[in-house]
Amino acid sequence: MVICPLCRKNSVGKVGSNQYYCWDCFVEFLIEKDKTVIYEVCDDGSLLPYCQDNSQLTLGG
Ligand SMILES: [Zn+2]
């Protein structure tokens, strides 16, 4: 089961082969072998790298 790396819930939809969308956080994330990359979705549908400066996240491990 895939869970969101931010909220750790499973309200996650698959949008690509290893690409997912969290309906709670409104972010997309890519699950790679050794890391998870999170993107914010802009109003126009484009993706921006998620800013983690304001939270203490430890991904992977
Ligand atoms: Zn989430």
Tell me the CA–centroid distance for residue 2 and ligand 1, in Å: 11
Mean pLDDT, residues 7-20 taken together: 95
Tell me the CA–centroid distance for residue 23 and ligand 1, in Å: 7
Q: Residue 1: pLDDT band by 50, 70, 90 thresholds?
A: confident
Tell me the CA–centroid distance for residue 26 and ligand 1, in Å: 7
Mean pLDDT, residues 21-48 taken together: 92
Measured between its terminal Cα atoms, the distance across the chain in Å is 17
Is the pLDDT at 10 greater than 90? The verdict is yes
Is the pLDDT at 5 greater than 70? The verdict is yes
Mean pLDDT, residues 2-22 taken together: 95
DSSP E strand stretches across 1-61: 12-14, 19-22, 27-31, 36-41, 47-49
Q: Where are the domains of the chain?
A: 12-49
Give the model's pLDDT for residue 42: 87
